[in-house]
C-alpha cells in the first residue's frame, strides 16, 4: 500500500516537473493544450468519483478555454456574484478564487504566490487572492473585459480585483449589498445589478429583449438546478449517504459558477440520481460538518478522517440558501439571492445557519478550517465555535492555509485532529444529543 | 445601562454629528496595544491589531459599553459581532457604509443615518431635530478646523497624539504637554516626509520618524490628519435633505483605502505630498488590515510613476520592537 502511494507520488512529481512547472502563458492560449486537456478529461484515465463531476469538469474546461480564446466577453467575478447574471447575458464568467484552488491542486501555487510577494503583496493577505494575482501578473489568466465584485463575503475580492483592474486597464464594478433587513434593500441592490447588467449586455451586444430573455432562461435553469440540489441535500441527511465532504466540497464551484447554465441542472440531476442508486454504505461512521474550505493541495486531513471512520457529511458552502427566483423579475430575484446568503452582514446569520446545518445533518462534531488571511471566516470562528458548543456540537478550530502548501503544518495539524477525533469517539453520539 | 451616554466609535466614517445631536458623548476607542493578545479567545490573532486591542481593553473595563460600528471592513464587522456578544445589554449598533460613490450610495448611506437616529431614539428616547443636527454639524466643522490650526507645525508624534485626543473627546493640548523629542521634526527641523497608512500607535513608528530626523508634514492616517482633512458640512431644508447632503459629504471625504475611488485617493495623496513639500512618503500600516495590504502595491506603482520615493513599514500596534526600524528610516531619509 505504502509502496503504491510512493509510486503514485513519484509519478505526480514527475508530471509536475516535466509538464506543469513548464507551463507558460502562451501554453494557456494554445489550442493543442486545450485539445489535450479536454481529451484527457474525457478519456478513461480520468475516473471521477461521481458521474456528475464529468459534467462540471467539462463545463469549466469549456468556459475557461473560451475565456482564453476570447469567444465572448470575459467577466471576472467573486463567489457571491450570481453566475446567472453573467451567463444569462452572454458573457463568460471567470472566478479567480476558484482558479487559485485549481492551481493549488496542481501544486503550482507557491510559484504564483511568490510572484505576488515580489509585486508588494503581503504574506498576511489571503493566499487565494495572492495566488490569483500572481497568475495575473505572469499573464496566466484570461484577460477580463470587466471585473465584477460583490462586497461580500470578504474584503479581499473587491480589493484584489481593484489591483487587477489597474493591471488590465479594465473597468471594475463593485456591488454594495445593504445590510440584511434594511428597508428597500432589494430595490437598492436590484438597481445596482441592473446597472451592472447593462454593462454586461453592452459587452455582449444584447438588446433589451435579448437581455430579458437571457436572464429569464438563466434563472429558470438555476431554479431547476436548485430543485435537484435540494434532492441531493435530502439524500445527504440520511445516515447511510455515500457522498463524502472531501468530494462534495469542490461543488462550491458548481454552486457559484454553473447556475444559469444547462450544466448546473445536469450536474445536480446526475448527482441526485447516483446518490439514490448507490444507496446504503452503513451508517455507523461519525458524522462531521466542515466549515470554510479545505486545503486544495493535500488530502491528508481526509485520510486521517477515513482512518478514524469519520465522514464529512455536510460543508458550509455547498447549500442553496435562497428561495426559488422569479424569471420575470430577474433583478429583484437575484438581489434576494445575494442578500439571503448567510455570509452577508453580521455573524449571527452565519452562526445560526451552521447550527441549523449541524442539527439537520445530525453531525457528531464540526471542524472550522481557519484559512490564514481570511478575516471574515477566521474572525468569527471563536463565536461560531461557541454557538455550536451551545448546541451540543464539539468543534475544532484548525489553523492552516487552503492554497499555500508551505503553510501546512502537518505534524501539529494531525496531532490536534487525532486528539479531537479520539475525544469525539468517546463522547455521546449526536442522535442522543438531538 | 441607558443612563450612561458615552458611546464608543472606531471608524472615521461614523457620523459624529448624529451622536452629538442626540446628546451622546462620542468617544473614539484606541484600545490597549500592549494587551491585545487578551482578545485572542474572541478574535483570531491574524485579525487587525487595532480591533483586537479595542476588544481586549473593553472586556477589562467597567461601564455601559455602548458603541457604534461602521461596516467598513471585515475586521470592524467582526469586532461588532464580538462586542455584541460580550455586552448584550449595551447599545451596540452596526451602520452600513457603501464602497461606491454616487446617487445610489448616497441614498443607502442617508437611510443608514436615519436608521441610526431611529435606533438611538428607541434606546435612549432621544429625538434628533434638524436644528440640533445642523448645530452639531457646524460644531464638528469648528472642531475640525481647530485641530488643524493647533496641529500645524507640531512634530509627528505630537500631531498624532493631538488627533487621537480630539477623537477621544478631549482638548487638543498634547502639543503643550509633550514637547517634541530631541531631533524630532517640528516645522523646518528635519527631512520633510508624508506618512500614510491606516492607524498607528503614537509611541511607535511615528516616534521613530521624529527620532530619525524626519519632519512629518502630513499624517494621512485615520487616527491622524486624515480624520480632519475633509469638511462634512451639510445643508438641507428638511431632515431628509440634510441627511442626503451629510451622506454625500462623508462619501466625498478624503477616502480610506477601502473605498472604491482609489484614483482620487492617490491623486489627493500626491497632491498633498507636493503641496506640503514632502521629499518622500512613508507607508506604514497595521498588520492584517486587508484594505491597506492590497492598497500598497498600487500606491507603490503610482509613486514609482510619479518619481516619489517610498518606504514601507509595518506595525503590530504594540510596536515593542519598533526601534529596529530606526536604521531603515535613517537610511531612507539620507537617500531622499
Using CA atoms, how far apart are residues B174 and A46, in angstroms rounded to an integer?
70
Kindly report the average pLDDT of chain A as a whole number. Answer: 93
> Among candidates B256, B294, B249, which has minimal Cα distance to B105?
B249
Which cell numbers in the block locate residue A397?
478550530
Q: Are B86 and B58 in contact (CB under 8 A)?
A: yes
Interface test with B, best of A159, A177, A385 (most B CBs within 10 A): A159
Interaxial angle between packed helices A127-137 and A96-105, expressed in degrees from 0 to 180 and rounded to the nearest 10: 90
pLDDT at A45 over 90: no
Minimal Cβ distance to B74: which of A174, A348, A379: A379
The minimum CA-CA distance between B233 and chain A, rounded to whole Å, is 25
Measured in angstroms, the CA of B249 and the nearest CA of chain A are apart by 18
Q: Cβ of A270: how many Cβ atoms within 10 Å?
A: 18
DSSP code per residue over A140-163: -SPPPSEEEEES-S-SHHHHHHHH
Gyration radius (Cα) of chain A, Å: 21
Instruction: Say if B48 is an interface residue toward chain A (CB within 8 Å).
Output: yes
**Element at B106 (helix H, strand E):** helix B103-124
Is A376 an 8 Å CB contact of chain B?
A: yes
Give the model confidence (pLDDT) of A122-179 as tens digits: 999 999 999 999 999 999 999 999 999 999 999 999 999 999 999 999 999 999 999 9
Q: Do A379 and B75 touch (CB under 8 A)?
A: yes
Spatial neighbors of A30 by CB under 8 A, at least 6 apart, are none
- Is some CB atom of chain A closer than 8 A to the CB atom of B107? yes
CB proximity under 8 Å: B 49-78 to A: 71, 73-75, 77-78
Rg (C-alpha) for chain B, rounded Å, is: 20
CA dihedral A106, A149, A129, A304 (to 10 degrees): -60
> From CA B276, how far away is CA B148, in angstroms rounded?
14
A191 in contact with B, Cβ within 8 Å: yes
Pairwise CB contact (< 8 Å): B258 & A159? yes
Residue A260 — left, alpha, or beta (φ > 0 → left; ψ -120 to 50 → alpha)?
Answer: left
Contact A375 B108 (CB under 8 A): no
Q: What is the pLDDT of residue A16?
A: 75
Whether chain B has a CB inside 8 Å of the CB on A124: the answer is yes
Cβ neighbour number for residue A71 with a 10 Å cutoff: 12
Q: How far is CA B67 from CA A340, B29, B94, B199, in A?
A: 26, 10, 9, 19
More confident residue, B130 or A247: B130
Nearest CA in chain B to A164: B298
Q: Quick one: what percent of chain A has pLDDT higher than 90? A: 82
- Cβ–Cβ gap A375/B78 under 8 Å: yes
Give the torsion sign (CA, B136, B138, B139, B140): positive
A398 touches chain B (CB under 8 A): no
CA distance linking residue B211 with residue B206, whole number of Å: 9
Give A299's contacts (C-beta < 8 A, 6+ positions apart).
A246
Q: Assess whether pLDDT exceeds 80 at residue A2.
A: no
Contacts of A6 (CB under 8 A, 6+ apart): none
Interface residue of A119, A379, A385 to substitute, partner B, most B CBs within 10 Å: A379
pLDDT at B177: 42
Put simply, the chain B residues between 170 and 209 with a CB less than 8 A from any chain A CB are none
Which residue is listed with cell 529596529? B324
- Tell me the nearest-neighbour CA distance from B14 into chain A, angstroms: 16
- In this prediction, residue A297 carries a pLDDT of 94
Alpha helices by DSSP H, listed for A74-184, are 83-88, 96-105, 109-118, 127-137, 156-168
Residues A31-35, mean pLDDT to the nearest whole number: 94
The predicted model gives A377-384 an average pLDDT of 95
Asked whether the beta carbons of residue B290 and residue A192 sit closer than 8 angstroms, the reply is no
Using CB atoms, pick whichever of A151, A163, A373 lies closest to residue B298.
A163
B47 and chain A: CB distance < 8 Å anywhere? yes
pLDDT tens over chain B, length 336 residues: 556 899 999 999 999 999 999 999 999 999 999 999 999 999 999 999 999 999 999 999 999 999 999 999 999 999 999 999 999 999 999 999 999 999 999 999 999 999 999 999 999 999 999 999 999 999 999 999 999 999 988 999 999 999 999 999 865 444 444 444 444 456 677 999 999 999 999 999 999 999 999 999 999 999 999 999 999 999 999 999 999 999 999 999 999 999 998 889 999 999 999 999 999 999 999 999 999 999 999 999 999 999 999 999 999 999 988 888 999 999 999 999
- pTM to 2 decimal places: 0.94
Q: Are A134 and A110 in contact (CB under 8 A)?
A: no
Burial zone of B122 (CB within 10 Å; 0-12 exposed, 13-18 middle, 19+ buried): exposed
User: CB contact, 8 Å: A370 with chain B?
Assistant: yes
Between helix B239-252 and helix B103-124 the angle, nearest 10°, is: 120
Query: Is residue B290 within 8 angstroms of chain A, CB to CB?
Result: yes
- Residue A432: what pLDDT? 39
Tell which of B11, B49, B71, B293 to mutate to test the A interface (max A CBs under 10 Å).
Answer: B293
Q: Which of A119, A160, A379 sits opposite B78 (nearest CB)?
A: A379
- Interface confidence (ipTM) of the complex: 0.94
Q: A382 vs B75: CB contact, 8 Å cut-off? A: no
Task: Give the Å distances, CA to CA, from A160 to A176, A183, A209, B281, B298.
Answer: 16, 30, 34, 23, 10
The pLDDT of residue B263 = 87
Could you give the 3-state DSSP secondary structure of residue B136? helix
Yes or no, beta carbons of A346 and B262 under 8 Å apart: no
Does B297 sit within 8 Å of A121, measured CB to CB?
yes
CA–CA separation, A225 and B97 (whole Å): 34
Q: Give the span between the Cα atoms of A422 and A48, in whole angstroms.
A: 31
The three cell numbers locating residue A225: 438546478
Q: A155 vs B290: CB contact, 8 Å cut-off? A: yes
Amino acid at each position: 500500500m505504502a509502496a503504491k502511494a510512493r509510486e503514485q507520488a513519484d509519478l505526480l512529481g514527475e508530471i509536475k516537473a516535466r509538464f506543469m512547472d513548464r507551463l507558460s502563458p502562451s501554453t494557456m492560449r494554445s489550442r493543442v493544450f486545450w485539445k489535450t486537456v479536454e481529451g484527457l478529461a474525457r478519456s478513461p484515465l480520468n475516473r471521477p468519483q461521481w458521474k456528475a463531476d464529468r459534467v462540471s469538469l467539462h463545463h469549466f474546461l469549456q468556459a475557461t478555454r473560451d475565456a482564453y480564446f476570447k469567444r465572448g466577453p470575459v467577466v471576472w467575478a467573486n463567489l457571491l456574484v450570481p453566475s446567472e447574471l453573467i451567463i444569462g447575458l452572454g458573457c463568460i464568467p471567470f472566478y479567480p478564487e476558484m482558479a487559485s484552488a485549481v492551481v493549488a491542486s496542481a501544486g503550482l501555487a507557491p510559484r504564483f504566490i511568490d510572484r505576488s510577494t515580489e509585486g508588494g503583496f503581503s504574506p498576511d493577505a489571503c493566499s487565494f487572492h495572492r495566488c490569483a494575482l500572481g497568475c495575473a501578473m505572469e499573464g496566466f489568466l484570461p484577460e477580463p473585459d470587466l471585473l465584477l465584485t460583490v462586497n461580500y463575503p470578504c474584503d479581499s475580492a473587491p480589493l484584489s480585483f481593484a489591483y487587477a483592474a489597474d493591471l488590465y486597464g479594465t473597468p471594475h464594478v463593485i456591488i454594495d449589498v445593504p445590510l440584511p433587513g434594511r428597508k428597500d434593500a432589494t430595490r437598492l441592490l436590484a438597481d445596482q445589478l441592473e446597472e451592472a447588467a447593462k454593462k454586461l449586455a453592452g459587452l455582449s451586444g444584447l438588446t433589451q429583449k435579448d437581455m430579458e430573455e437571457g436572464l429569464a432562461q438563466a434563472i429558470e435553469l438555476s431554479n431547476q438546478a436548485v430543485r435537484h440540489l435540494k434532492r441531493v441535500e435530502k439524500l445527504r441527511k440520511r445516515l447511510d449517504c455515500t457522498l463524502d465532504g472531501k468530494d462534495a466540497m469542490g461543488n462550491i464551484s458548481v454552486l457559484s459558477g454553473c447556475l444559469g447554465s444547462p450544466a448546473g441542472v445536469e450536474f445536480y440531476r446526475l448527482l441526485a440520481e447516483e446518490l439514490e442508486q448507490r444507496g446504503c454504505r452503513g451508517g455507523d461512521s461519525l458524522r462531521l460538518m466542515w466549515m470554510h474550505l479545505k486545503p486544495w493541495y493535500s488530502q491528508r486531513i481526509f485520510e486521517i478522517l477515513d482512518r478514524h471512520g469519520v465522514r464529512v457529511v455536510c460543508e458550509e458552502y455547498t447549500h442553496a440558501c435562497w428561495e426559488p427566483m422569479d424569471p420575470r423579475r430577474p433583478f429583484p430575484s437575484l438581489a434576494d439571492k445575494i442578500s439571503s446568503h448567510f455570509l452577508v452582514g453580521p455573524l449571527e446569520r452565519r452562526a445560526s445557519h451552521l447550527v441549523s446545518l449541524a442539527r439537520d445533518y445530525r453531525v457528531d462534531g464540526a471542524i472550522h478550517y481557519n484559512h490564514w488571511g481570511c478575516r471574515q471566516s477566521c474572525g468569527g470562528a471563536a463565536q461560531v465555535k461557541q454557538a455550536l458548543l451551545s448546541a451540543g456540537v464539539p468543534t475544532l478550530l484548525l489553523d492552516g492555509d487552503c492554497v499555500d502548501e508551505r503553510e501546512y503544518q502537518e505534524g501539529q495539524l494531525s496531532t490536534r485532529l487525532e486528539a479531537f477525533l479520539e475525544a469525539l469517539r468517546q463522547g455521546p453520539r449526536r442522535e442522543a444529543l438531538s | 445601562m441607558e443612563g450612561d451616554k458615552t458611546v464608543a466609535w472606531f471608524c472615521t466614517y461614523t457620523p459624529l454629528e448624529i451622536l452629538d445631536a442626540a446628546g451622546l458623548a462620542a468617544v473614539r476607542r484606541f484600545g490597549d496595544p500592549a494587551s491585545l493578545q487578551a482578545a485572542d479567545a474572541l478574535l483570531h490573532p491574524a485579525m487587525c491589531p487595532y480591533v483586537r486591542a479595542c476588544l481586549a481593553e473593553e472586556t477589562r473595563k467597567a461601564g455601559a459599553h455602548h458603541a457604534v460600528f461602521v461596516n467598513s471592513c471585515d475586521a470592524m464587522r467582526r469586532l461588532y459581532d464580538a462586542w455584541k456578544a460580550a455586552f448584550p445589554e449595551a447599545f451596540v449598533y452596526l451602520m452600513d457604509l457603501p464602497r461606491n460613490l454616487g446617487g445610489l450610495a448616497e441614498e443607502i448611506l442617508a437611510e443608514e443615518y436615519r436608521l441610526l437616529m431611529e435606533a438611538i431614539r428607541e434606546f435612549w428616547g432621544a429625538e434628533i431635530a434638524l436644528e440640533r443636527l445642523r448645530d452639531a454639524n457646524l460644531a464638528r466643522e469648528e472642531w475640525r478646523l481647530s485641530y488643524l490650526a493647533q496641529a500645524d507645525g507640531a512634530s509627528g508624534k505630537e500631531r498624532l497624539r493631538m488627533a487621537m485626543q480630539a477623537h477621544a473627546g478631549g482638548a487638543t493640548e498634547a502639543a503643550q504637554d509633550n514637547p517634541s523629542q530631541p531631533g524630532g521634526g517640528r516645522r523646518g527641523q528635519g527631512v520633510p516626509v508624508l506618512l500614510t497608512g491606516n492607524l498607528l500607535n503614537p509611541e511607535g513608528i511615528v516616534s521613530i520618524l521624529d527620532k530619525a530626523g524626519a519632519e512629518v508634514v502630513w499624517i494621512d492616517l485615520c487616527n491622524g490628519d486624515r480624520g480632519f482633512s475633509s469638511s462634512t458640512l451639510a445643508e438641507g431644508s428638511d431632515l431628509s435633505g440634510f441627511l442626503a447632503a451629510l451622506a454625500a459629504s462623508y462619501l466625498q471625504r478624503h477616502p480610506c483605502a477601502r473605498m472604491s475611488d482609489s484614483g482620487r485617493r492617490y491623486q489627493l495623496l500626491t497632491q498633498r505630498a507636493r503641496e506640503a513639500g514632502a521629499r518622500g512618503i512613508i507607508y506604514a500600516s497595521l498588520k492584517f488590515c486587508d484594505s491597506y495590504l492590497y492598497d500598497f502595491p498600487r500606491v507603490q506603482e503610482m509613486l514609482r510613476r510619479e518619481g516619489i520615493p517610498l518606504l514601507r513599514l509595518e506595525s503590530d500596534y504594540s510596536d515593542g520592537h519598533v526601534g529596529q526600524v530606526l536604521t531603515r528610516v535613517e537610511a531612507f531619509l539620507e537617500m531622499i
